Copies of this chain bind each other. A is one copy, B any other.
Amino acid sequence: MKATIYDVAREAGVSIATVSNAINGKGNVSKKRRDQIFKIMEQMNYQPNVNASALMGKKTYTLGLLIPDISNPFFAEIARAIEDEAHQLNYSVIMCSTDNKDERVERYIALLEQKNVDGILIGTGLDNLDILTSLQARTIPVVMIARETSALEVDTVVADDYVGGLMAARHLAGLGHRRIAILSEQWKVSSARERIRGFKQGLQDAQIPFDDDQIAICNYLIEEGRRGAGELLGRAHRPTALFCCNDVLAIGAMQEARRLGIKVPEELSIVGFDDTILAAVVDPPLTTVAQPIVNMGKQAFRLLIAHLDEADSVKKRIVLRPELTIRQSTAPAANISVE
């Protein structure tokens, strides 16, 4: 069986209180005792039982991470960033793929509560805000990552979607495109909304006209991207450039363009958003707005930790600047046709 604090105490000829103090650097334990105790712990291969100490109101050193789907590269990369940051401070993270279903969210949260996690990172959409309020009522720290929630006061870290959209528009405008369309995720996804708002602003800045019927709405799936792009590209005066709200949609668009015999980037420029591994792997490599994923993970974790220590600091909202990664799916507009 595993050694307990009692075993160590007995072996060292001291009381468990002294062992506990030695471990936690509390009280006053003489150097001699400390060293002796540590030596014995090593010998016995003693590891304090986190759950037991959690019972006394200490931390469990366990976090929950809610995301739509760990098998989606964007979220997998987020998860890795968080995991690395957490691991440094001895935290473990429990993964919870919600499929964006509130019912799954609730189940997962209930489970996490039972396990007394120290905090929860939420990177999934939350239709039902009651979930958050009840979490806050129970004073379990929450930070949102890569997603926002309008109503509640929650710590949040996101990329600046608006600026990302702006960057994409500037890039396309700079290449001389004037007939541009957008492939968007559901309107209710706030980040998509912001990206498009920024994109439109960018177009406007460049005095490029834009009409909302140039937006196709899709779900977060490659085949949806194909469908949406098909709709847009099938029109009479088809666009020379496409802004897609994420890489997955952009890939769908690339596939559809190929199917239609439209060359990317010669006849159609495509820009994505996220800069996941997928963007680097497709052909041509995708020009895309890169979210600072690693940094987001780091900030989110830090925010959560800060919350554990200082009772309740004022809620922060950290907005990180995205960056345009120019690859080969965009090129100058062939000829600026007079409409």
Measuring CB to CB, which residues of chain A are less than 8 angstroms from any residue of chain B?
Answer: 2, 47-52, 54-55, 60-62, 69-73, 76-77, 79-80, 83-84, 87, 90, 92-97, 107-108, 110-116, 138, 222, 251, 254-255, 258, 277-278, 280-283
- The verdict on A71 contacting B76 (CB below 8 Å), with A52-B55, A281-B251 known, is yes
B contact residues around A282 at 8 Å (CB): 281-283
Residues of B near A254 (CB, < 8 A) are 283
Q: Name A114's contact: one of B47, B80, B95, B107 (CB within 8 Å).
A: B47
Query: Which 4 pairs between the two chains have the least Cβ-Cβ distance?
Result: A71-B80, A51-B51, A76-B76, A283-B283
Given that A79-B71, A80-B97 are known contacts, is A49 also in contact with B251, CB under 8 Å in the complex? Answer: no
Contact B222 A115 (CB under 8 A): no
Q: How far is the CA of A172 from the CA of B79 in the complex (A)?
A: 38
6 interchain pairs (CB within 8 A)? A2-B138, A71-B80, A79-B95, A87-B108, A94-B94, A282-B282
CA distance A97 to B114 in the complex (A): 25
Residues of B within 8 A of A251 (CB): 281
Name A51's closest neighbour in chain B (CB-CB): B51
In Å, the complex CA distance between A8 and B77 comes to 43
Tell me the bound Cα distance from A95 to B222 in angstroms.
27
Closest Cβ–Cβ distance, residue A275 to chain B (whole Å): 13
Residues of B within 8 A of A71 (CB): 73, 76-77, 79-80, 277
A111-B92 in contact (CB<8A)? yes
A137 to B111, CA, bound (A): 30
- A225 smallest CB distance to B (angstroms): 11
Q: Given that A277-B278, A281-B222 are known contacts, is A60 also in contact with B70, CB under 8 Å in the complex? A: no
- Neighbouring B residues of A113 by C-beta, 8 Å: 2, 47
**Chain B residues whose CB sits within 8 angstroms of the CB of A138 once the complex forms:** 2
> How far, in whole Å, are A2 and B110 apart by their CA atoms in the complex?
12
Nearest neighbor of A258 in chain B, beta-carbon distance = B283
The listed residue with most B CB atoms (<10 A of its CB), out of A92, A112, A222, is A92
- Establish whether residues A48 and B79, one from each chain, have CB atoms under 8 Å apart when the complex forms: no
**Known pairs A2-B138, A282-B283; A97 contacts B83 (CB<8 A):** yes
A95 to chain B: which residues have CB within 8 Å?
Answer: 70, 79, 83, 93-95
| A60 closest partner in B (C-beta) | B51
State A149–B115 Cα separation when bound (angstroms): 32
Given A70-B76, A71-B79, A83-B70, is A116 in contact with B51 using a C-beta cutoff of 8 Å?
yes
Q: Which residues of B contact A51 (CB under 8 A)?
A: 51-52, 54-55, 60, 115-116
**Other than the known A92-B112, A258-B283, what 15 A-B pairs have Cβ atoms closer than 8 Å?**
A2-B113, A47-B114, A51-B115, A70-B79, A71-B80, A79-B95, A83-B95, A90-B111, A92-B94, A92-B96, A92-B111, A93-B95, A222-B280, A251-B281, A255-B283
